[in-house]
Structure 1
Amino acid sequence: MTASSRAHSFNAAADQYAASRPSYPPELFDFIEEFTRRPLARARAADVGAGTGIATALLRERGAEVIAVEPGGAMAAKFHTLLPDVPVIRGDGNALPLADASHDLITYAQSWQWTDTTRSVPETLRVLRPGGALAIWWNTTAFDVPWIREQHQRIAHHCGVKPTSRKRPDDSDAIRLAGLSGLRVARRQVSWSRVIPLETHLANISSRSAFLVLAEDDKRAFLSEERGRLRDLFPDEAVEETYVVDLLVATRP
């Protein structure tokens, strides 16, 4: 299964993605403001790979003048339903459909890994104004929580992918960004959690790209077994998910 196929698999689950995927904590946006030394209010921002608009909505709540860039048709359509007053443009990070020196902030929430950095870094530099910033982040696995770590390993095994043992971006991402472009780079990790119904947690699992490309019988079998395990852990069927947001921020001269 190619990376492109996995990237576009989200179009088959846009409603599920919007309903079950986690948001992001306020501390993430606080750090972006602290590092860039400018408020998000009135900043001209582009959220790339915006999906159904989870991060876009938060940027708008902070006062940013935000537009979305999204390659998937179904995801863009769901975005428009949820955020009808926010512009969404079809495109991706390798060829941004944005004018030169037009934005103060470019963000990638859960989407930087789908880009070719030899193209997306120069594109970012082209579109950012002097002093502008690139912010990329992921909700990553909280490996210090035993049941989450064990579930991560089960999902990876079932999907035929290698389990990860680190958060991302790793230090090499920061070094590569700084070396390629002369950007000033900082990294921050923020732990946070949410409590959701068991079925929402299972829907979140099945909205992941490695899971979406599986056969329906394989998905149902795994989710049925996982439902039983989780009912033992959470008899009230209220699941506490813990995440570590891993954030990389880079400002250009």
Structure 2
Amino acid sequence: MTDLQHQAHAGSFGAVAAEYDKARPSYPPRLFEEIERLAGRPLRGADVLDVGAGTGIATRLLAERGARVIAVEPSGGMAAQLHAVSPGIPVVKGVGDELPCHDESADLITYAQAFHWTDPDKSIPEAIRVLRPGGALVLFWNLKDRSVDWLGEQERRHAAALPSYHYYGTMNAVTEPLSRYPLDVFGAKVRWERTITVDDVITDLRSKSYFAVAEPELRESVLADDRAWLLGLFPDGRVVEPYTVDLTVAVKPR
């Protein structure tokens, strides 16, 4: 993906914020237990920056576990949706490459489904600057299990139909830059699944950047084909989606 394409994809979410909030997957409780274990501290009472917070799917879960969370989000559309759903969570405009925060002001910096939109050569030093000693940079992604036949076939269908289709799969290429910095890096994987309707699958797809940037006629054609194909596979309209959450925790030395 070129820099211009990357920018177009990164800027596409504001227009699909409602779809994003409605149909994107949440995160299982065990993920937050793993974050606490690898970071070596409880979320309760922690000062957390949730960067690229989007509509606040992960932000709300962090707050529910007792963290003092500030959402950092560059998109006005996404931030407006977050505020509408969770007016008690403070939101500031900003990006991970240039955090609007004081030095050593956070215990945890989290990126849920968002770190791949940053420039690691900027966002990692920024995280180190803002984290307190012993604090942690926490990166996680919900990844669909593409080894499941229908999900693998769906990926092939989208790759063939959409010029800008991309699937990040493993995050190794994204998290590898962490090794260049004085951080103690740990990882874990958390498996879970959700059951949703075919309509929710389509809504979720609308929130993907490679659908959001597609020409409307092409987008609607691919989504209509997907709906018919999914109903052929799942006549009752109920779909089980298996996920693995890929978690990386990088701790700043004390």
Q: TM-score, normalised by structure 2?
A: 0.95
Distance in 1, Cα, partners of 2:175 & 2:110: 15
For 2:6, which of 3, 12, 16 is the aligned residue?
A: 3
Per the alignment, residue 233 of structure 2 pairs with 233
SS at match of 2:11: helix
Contact 2:144 2:241 in 1 (8 A): no
**Alpha-carbon deviation of 1:63?**
0.6
Specify whether residues 175 and 228 from structure 1 end up closer, same or farther in structure 2 by C-alpha distance, changes over 3 A only: closer
Specify whether residues 143 and 17 from structure 1 end up closer, same or farther in structure 2 by C-alpha distance, changes over 3 A only: same
Q: Which amino acid aligns with 2:60?
A: A
Per the alignment, residue 37 of structure 1 pairs with 40
**Alpha-carbon deviation of 1:215?**
1.1
Distance in 1, Cα, partners of 2:208 & 2:175: 25
SS at match of 1:144: coil
Per the alignment, residue 93 of structure 1 pairs with 96
Alignment gaps of 5+ in structure 2 = none
The answer to whether the aligner puts 1:152 opposite 2:155 as a matched pair is yes
Per the alignment, residue 182 of structure 1 pairs with 182
Per the alignment, residue 53 of structure 2 pairs with 50
Distance in 2, Cα, partners of 1:17 & 1:173: 23
Residues 1-253 of structure 1: matches in 2 within 5 Å? 2-161=5-164, 164=167, 167-170=169-172, 172-179=173-180, 181-253=181-253
Q: Which amino acid aligns with 1:169?
A: M
SS at match of 1:248: strand
Deviations 1:93-146 (A, max 9, x none): 000001110000000011101101111011000000000000111111302211
SS at match of 1:94: coil
Query: Which runs of 4 or more aligned residues in structure 1 lie more than 2 Å from their structure 2 counterparts after TM superposition?
Result: 161-164, 172-176
Distance in 2, Cα, partners of 1:68 & 1:49: 8
Distance in 2, Cα, partners of 1:201 & 1:154: 15
Contact 2:71 2:92 in 1 (8 A): yes
Distance in 1, Cα, partners of 2:239 & 2:27: 17
RMSD: 1.4
Contact 2:116 2:174 in 1 (8 A): no
Specify whether residues 243 and 126 from structure 1 end up closer, same or farther in structure 2 by C-alpha distance, changes over 3 A only: same
SS at match of 1:151: helix
Distance in 2, Cα, partners of 1:4 & 1:173: 17
Q: TM-score, normalised by structure 1?
A: 0.95
